[in-house]
Amino acid sequence: MTEMIVGILFPVLNFIGFIVAIIVLIKQFKHGGALQGILGIITCTFWTFIWGWIKHKSFALTKLMIVWTAVSVVPLLLIPVFGAAMFGEVYKLVGEISNNPDLVIKQDQQNKAAPKFKRTNPRKRLPRRNTNKTQAANGQDFNAAAMALWRNGQYSDPNKAKQIWDGAIAANSRQAEAYNNRGLAFYNLEQHQQAIVDFNQAIQINPKYAEAYNNRGNAYYALEQYQQAEAQYTKSLRLKPKYAKAHLNRGLTYFQMQRIPDSCKEFKRACDLGDCDGLQWAMQEGYCK
């Protein structure tokens, strides 16, 4: 909607201003002489505008000058309004793409209304169906219980998911996946610092856990610590070079850091690996070709 308003209103105001400027310029040639008119042309009608106000009473230019001033000033007043609105839309779009957890259960950051693709939260892997599933004393399968709460890239009840993974960690404190997945629960609860603590623990247990690095990057991204986020995605990709979500998330981080060419490269790489959400959005918005 914002883009539509800008696309219609600004050209109309510019056209009106152009017509009025031509009319005043003709009068400047007629009443001020060729030198005045040529100065008006050389200065792209800036001098014509000043001359018009100086002579507005003498040559009945008052109404024309008021119109010219209005159509010149109104866009300047609207730019901060529409600019802020458009920036907000871009921010939402970016948030919508970013953060697809790779769970040993998946999660999403808070969904921020955005165009038609879902946001990708750093992958926090889906719980693996290992032969060695951690079970509670009563035989409960923690992975299965947590998986039952995983919907569209996030926990439907993150508090309950946290309790499940608390139990898994109490039964076996050396499970990297359990810490990763509890980190996702904290992430869903927007307790990003606590999520980082759990991702740290998962990585300490398993230094080659690419998904946990990606998820830790998401937590830093949510905290707007983009340099730290970029470092985590890079570590994830060293371990898993064809990790589409990490390429996508690193591209989003580059976008936030105003590194648009690097961002486009990452979006294209993610698309080559099967995740084209970021590239489609960036091309639609005109950031990437």
DSSP H helices in 175-273: 176-188, 192-205, 210-222, 226-239, 244-256, 260-272
Whether the model pTM is above 0.75: no
pLDDT of residue 107: 38
Tell me the mean pLDDT per 10 residues along the chain, length 289: 59 84 87 84 87 84 88 71 54 52 44 31 33 35 81 85 90 90 93 96 95 95 95 96 94 94 95 93 90
Residue 205 burial (C-beta neighbours within 10 Å; 0-12, 13-18, 19+): middle
Region of residue 286 (phi > 0: left; psi between -120 and 50: alpha; otherwise: beta): left
The DSSP symbol for 148 reads T
pLDDT of residue 83: 55
pLDDT of residue 154: 83
pLDDT of residue 28: 85
pLDDT of residue 100: 54
Region of residue 33 (phi > 0: left; psi between -120 and 50: alpha; otherwise: beta): left
Question: Is residue 122 a contact partner of residue 218, using CB atoms and an 8 Å limit?
Answer: yes
Q: Tell which residue, 216, 274, 224, has the closest CA to residue 252.
A: 224
Question: Is residue 165 a contact partner of residue 186, using CB atoms and an 8 Å limit?
Answer: no
In angstroms, rounded to a whole number, what is the distance separating the alpha carbons of residues 174 and 255?
37
pLDDT of residue 115: 29
Range 158-161, long-range pairs (CB < 8 A, 24+ positions)? 158/185, 158/186, 158/188, 158/189, 159/185, 159/189, 161/105, 161/185, 161/188
pLDDT of residue 85: 54
Q: Which helix (H) or strand (E) holds 84?
A: helix 62-97
pLDDT of residue 33: 87
pLDDT of residue 148: 85
